[in-house]
A and B are shown apart, each in its own frame.
Chain A
Amino acid sequence: MESRRCLPKGRLFARGFEFVEMSNRKSKNNLLHGECLSQVQRILRERFCHQTPHSNLFGVQVQYRHLIELLKRTAIHGESNSVLIVGPRGSGKTMLINHALKELMEIEEVSENILQVYLNGLLQINDKIALKEITRQLHLENVVGDKVFGSFAENFSFLLEALKKGDRTSSCPVIFILDEFDLFAHHKNQTLLYNLFDISQSPQTPVAVIGLTCRLDILELLEKRVKSRFSHRQIHLMNSFGFPQYVKIFKEQLSLPVEFPDKLFAEKWNENVQSLSEDKSVRDVLLKHFNVSKDLRSLHMLSMVALNRVTASHPFLTAADLMEAAQLCSMDSKANVVHEFQKFVQRKAHSIYNFEKPVVMKAFEHLQQLELIKPVERTSVNSQREYQLMKLLLDNTQIMNSLQKYPNCPTDVRQWATSSLSWL
């Protein structure tokens, strides 16, 4: 499902790069605007695609405060802590922690005094790999040469020993960031989590364990002894802003920073963005988008697509760009596909009369490849293909819609649709 969701995005990206190419080519004609525009696109794309800690935080000031205070206490007082940051996808969890770490590292007495370990549940899929990664990131493998990469058990006791040696006042605090925290809970016995939390609750090396997850039921995943050692601090990021704020965010995200080289252009651009945000049709687009999903990542997606339409000949964003982008973003992927391959359905319908059997079979296979239809069971390989039971993975409305879009649809297909789908 996730992958299907990504499919149109991927295509849009590809299209976006074509636009970049185009704008580059055209910029030879219009040097002044071209240069500015490529810079604009670079800056804004960076802002949209990377979770840079330079961009602003929206509506999470309280949570941010909580987190930064906690990290400071670990860094300065050597107090061990554990916290979970919970929020749906795209709600800015990683951004929050990156922001907090950046601010932390800017404090002079802290930056020297802290070690960071970053783990991701999608990369460190078991404790063994995670341990190696921790050892590597703590630069402990230098201490022991290649020995540490011995057996899993040796590694483990080595690392625990190393962490146990320290104490609150003298050891350098370690910040563990566990992205996709829920996946760590699926490791065998939750050994890693138990030990991290145990360290955070015993007089050893001060650690701050920060988990990032989108699962609200995360605490239920933890074993009770692991749960008991976890401090139960949770920071929830819930996208709890309303529409006016959403528009404001949209405006700020598209605005150029003050340090943009060409002041004049930046001013014009920002004015344009300001007027866009007040435009009625733009607001409608945004409202529709807001209603579908509140996360900022989808807003970035929308702005990104719109941004790609900016060229030297078309230097400023318009409402039409945004509407087009919104349409692209919310397009039904299947409708598209159905539209293109309706002719096979059409042939199938007529197979009895017009077509050879191989042709029909080919068309049938094609549909299967596109996952428009699916065998009911996987084990039916031995049965003849003609008699396999199939599932249609389309809704009536989708077929009807696509048929309407299909310009010269044969009448018998149309008839079949109206007659048979009405009672289906």
Chain B
Amino acid sequence: MQWISWKPAAEKRTMASYNTRQKTRKTYSWVGRPLLDRKLSHQTYKEISVKIEGCSTQTHIQVGQFVLIEGEDDQNPYIAKLIELFEDDSKPCSRKCARVQWFIRFCEVAPCKQHFLGRKPDAQEIFWYDYPACDDNINIETVIGPVRVVALAPDEVIPMDLKNEKTFFVKLSWNGKKFRPLSPELFAEFDKLQGEGPKCQKPRTKNAESPSWCTAENVAKRIESRHSASIPCQIPTHPAIPTARKKLEFRSFSRTPDAKISQKTSCGSLDSPRKTKRKATFSETTSHSKRPQPDGIKTSSPALKALEKTGEVGLFCADDKESPECHMILRTRVSAVKTTWISETNLTPTRGGQRSSAVPYVDLKPEYIKKREAKEPEAQNEATSISHRVRRKSSLLTLNRIRQQLRFLENDKNDQEEKEFLPSAEDSDSSSEDEELKPRTPHRVTAKIRSRSLAAQEPASVLEEARLRLHVSAVPESLPCREQEFQDIYNFVESKLLDQTGGCMYISGVPGTGKTATVHEVIRCLQQAAQTSDVPPFQYIEVNGMKLTEPHQVYVQILEKLTGQKATANHAAALLAKQFCTRRSPQETTVLLVDELDLLWTHKQDVMYNLFDWPTHKEARLVVLTIANTMDLPERIMMSRVSSRLGLTRMSFQPYTHSQLQQILVSRLKHLKAFEDDAIQLVARKVAALSGDARRCLDICRRATEICEFSHQKQDSPGLVTVAHLMEAVDEMFSSSYITAIKNSSVLEQGFLRAILAEFHRSGLEEATFQQIYSQHVALCRMEGLPYPTMSETMAVCSRLGSCRLLLMEPSRNDLLLRVRLNVSRDDVLYALKEE
């Protein structure tokens, strides 16, 4: 076995186990055909061979293998797993790079945190380093050689027979804060690697002409792929090969959640006669689910743009479990539209080789795509209404790409400068940063309502399902009827992101018109776009004026969400001002959503002033979206210097019209026959006439399903919600309860109300003292021959009516001279008293 180092050995203290290092030059050559990624302008490979000068042996290192990487400490080189090998043309000298998933040794964990492990680590134990901010690009020349890594369950003992220097064991993952057991997926991955046998693990020295430490199958496949690349129909017949599968899975596993580095895998082929290039973009999964789940598929051909869009949206709302299938299906759809050459690496399905492009995609299509199709006319409408945006977007796309490349180059340059110590520098940086933050931010307590012991029941009947979908909290797949607003906000934020500037936007509208929901949708889409690198990544912060105890607390919340620091309001304001108003190293744009803006009003209006002032600084790169109920809030409560900073980018959400409300209901109740059509129309019209509040509309419908369920209980057949049910629900929610209250009050209370009316009539005023009313009451009672009540009783009656707010009484203790008013119109009282 040859250990290779390009560095002079004199610089290093060689260790017994690595004593084969030689002071030699090494030559690196790729093995296999390059896979070109146009966007990132680099070519990726699956394998590299290292040849040492003066020696006839070659070492082959393959993607997916574990390698030792040079670090500060020669005795303990870094350990990592190769994820990707690529050639970076942008750099002058060392062009061969690799992307790795790091492992960390126990001695590399910050000393103050070592006790978190709670036990003594084994000498050969390493930890999966789950730290997203860690740079994972290395120069290929820092690779020392392959090594073996075995995954063990947390409680497993390290097997004795494997206890040699060249095998490491991984039991836990370390994310800079705590040790966690390896996730099952990760574990399965390791197991698979081991199952493939030592062939892949152990590097072999072979002749260049037969890189045969791969399996014969692999070789055959490689050759085949080289030759058959131009024959598209052959690809589906490829057996699924382990390496390819592995690669796919690694990709999604080891990808750091850091959205900055988006990896593009090129699968275009230069020798393909059709020269159609497709990119399969694997967006990072920011969630912690380590499922192999390619999130988006992108074609660079503008003709496929629309298709791609639908595909993306469809994927976005897909269930986790469906994603592998949908992944395939969308591809087949694309290939149906346009015959494309498909690279075997990326298109070998994750689940064996059962896929064939001959299978009509309709059969495999999961349900949601059908739904999507049902919605397609809608989507087309959208597309036409937003054509200006698309045009703009495509023009900006190029610009965007150039920028991205530039940034990439910059990064690489940095990489090169410190290529030797890059991993160590990163590690020490991150750990020291952690330590620095730690004392300042006390360990965040994350309280949680305890989870239920019994699983929540899922809806059983149509009505229950309808009720679940009608709940306001149910997040709809799309927001119907707010397309225009969505586009406007999207364009605003997108343009600010692309131009890397800041700005403010004021959104107003009565409650329940979808302001917050629309903004959330915009942010979601933008985050989606940021993952596929259509827009630069950004940080999103949300504050709500109603969720603050005091306006100045907004600083505290913003600071905490921005940096994780905790500070008092004044200190936080200073820190934020420093952060936004001084020049810093280029960083992400921040999008700040301020809900219920009017509550941030203070006497000096300093909170609002600051919020709108920060975006005006060029360095801040802050986009502020503000939401409030009143349209003229800036004019009404803001000083001119504040409203001038807010600018004129305003948008107002009109209350929903009846047809819009109807559309909302229909879209929620898609494929669910629970309501009569007339009933939906009725409720939409009712609510539109009252307030245009979508929440009200949904609540009424939800109540109507309950009434319907209740009325059908006896017949044992869940029927449709009819107009009658809805009317009942509407009445229940909106009818005034005063009249029923008067009707149900006692005789004396009704008599007292009569006396009030009589007194008002007598005096011609709308107000009377208790004494006056009492005498009227006594007179009335005499007239009707009733025993007249005592003063105390009458007083009790009066106070009872007052506590119901049928009467308004002055709050003093004026006793007899208490002034009383009616809180109901006289006609209502008369009407209620008459009907008996």
Contact = CB atoms under 8 A, between A and B. Distances in A.
Nearest to A80: B473
Nearest to B451: A170
B524 to A, nearest CB: 14
16 contacts: A2-B799, A88-B741, A88-B804, A89-B800, A143-B445, A147-B445, A148-B447, A203-B475, A215-B804, A228-B696, A232-B733, A233-B733, A238-B741, A291-B748, A292-B796, A334-B792
Which of B474, B557, B817 is most buried by chain A, counting CB atoms within 10 A of its CB? B817
Interface stretch (B106-114, B544-552, B758-766): B544-552
A334 B789 CA distance: 13
B793 interface: yes
Contact of B744 (A148, A240, A395): A240
B157 interface: no
Interface in B407-460: 445-459
A334 B796 CA distance: 13
B485 to A, nearest CB: 18
Smallest CB-CB A-B distances: 3 pairs: A228-B511, A332-B790, A78-B456
A233 B511 contact: no
A1 B799 contact: yes
A165 to B, nearest CB: 5
B553 interface: yes
Contact of A1 (B596, B738, B793, B795): B795
Given A5-B796, A88-B741, A216-B805, A224 B557 contact: no
B94 interface: no
A181 to B, nearest CB: 13
Interface string B792-826: 11011111100111100000010111100001000
B693 interface: yes
Contact of A191 (B511, B546, B737): B546
A15 interface: no
Contact of A113 (B453, B747, B815, B818): B453
Interface string A189-232: 10100110010111111100000001111000000110111011
A79 to B, nearest CB: 6
Contacts of B710: 65, 69
A109 B454 contact: yes
Nearest to B700: A232
Interface in A108-134: 109, 112-113, 115, 127
Interface stretch (B248-256, B299-307, B382-390, B463-471): B463-471
Contacts of B748: 291-293
A4 B795 contact: yes
B787 interface: yes
Contacts of B738: 216
B556 interface: yes
Contacts of A293: 746, 748-749, 796-797, 800
Nearest to A235: B732
A225 B629 contact: yes
Contacts of A1: 795, 798-799, 813, 815, 818
B455 A169 contact: yes
A217 B546 CA distance: 23
Nearest to B736: A216
B473 A290 contact: no
Nearest to B557: A157
B472 interface: yes
A294 interface: yes
B806 A216 contact: yes
A216 B817 contact: no
A97 interface: no
A82 B804 CA distance: 21
A156 B547 contact: yes
B694 to A, nearest CB: 9
A217 B24 CA distance: 90
A189 B362 CA distance: 55
A77 interface: yes
A224 B473 contact: no
Interface bracket on B: 35 or more
For A215, A231, A371, the residue with the greatest tally of chain B CB atoms inside 10 Å of its CB is A231
Interface string A354-371: 000000000000000001
Given A157-B547, A238-B741, 9 more contacts: A5-B799, A80-B473, A165-B446, A165-B449, A232-B696, A240-B740, A330-B790, A335-B791, A394-B816
A129 to B, nearest CB: 13
Contact of A77 (B457, B511, B795): B457
Contacts of B452: 78, 112-113, 170-173
Of B691, B748, B791, most A-chain CB atoms within 10 Å: B791
A171 B451 contact: yes
A205 B790 contact: no
Interface string A169-195: 111111000000000000001010011
A158 interface: yes
Interface string B721-763: 0000000000011100110110011111100000000000000
A168 interface: yes
A78 B800 CA distance: 38
Contacts of B474: 203
A294 B447 contact: no
Interface of A: 1-2, 4-5, 8, 65, 69, 76-80, 86, 88-89, 109, 112-113, 115, 127, 138, 140, 143-144, 147-148, 152-153, 156-163, 165-166, 168-174, 189, 191, 194-195, 198, 200-206, 214-217, 224-225, 227-229, 231-234, 236, 238-240, 288, 290-294, 330-335, 371, 374, 391, 393-395, 397-398
B708 to A, nearest CB: 13
Contacts of A214: 803-804
Most buried by B among A88, A112, A203, A330: A88
Nearest to B824: A216
A88 B745 CA distance: 9
Contacts of A69: 706, 710
Interface in B148-186: none
Nearest to A112: B453
A19 B327 CA distance: 84
Interface string B539-575: 0000000111110010011000000000000000000
Contacts of A109: 454
Nearest to B790: A332
A65 B706 CA distance: 11
Contacts of B468: 77, 79
A333 to B, nearest CB: 5
A394 B775 CA distance: 12
B448 A162 contact: yes
Contacts of B696: 228, 232
Given A88-B804, A189-B599, A171 B796 contact: no
B744 A294 contact: yes
A394 B737 CA distance: 35
Contacts of B447: 140, 143-144, 148, 158-159, 161-162, 165
Interface in B133-153: none
Contact of B792 (A5, A160, A239): A5
A76 B457 contact: yes
Contacts of A2: 799
Interface string B499-516: 000000000001110000
A241 B738 CA distance: 17
Contacts of A143: 445, 447
A394 to B, nearest CB: 7
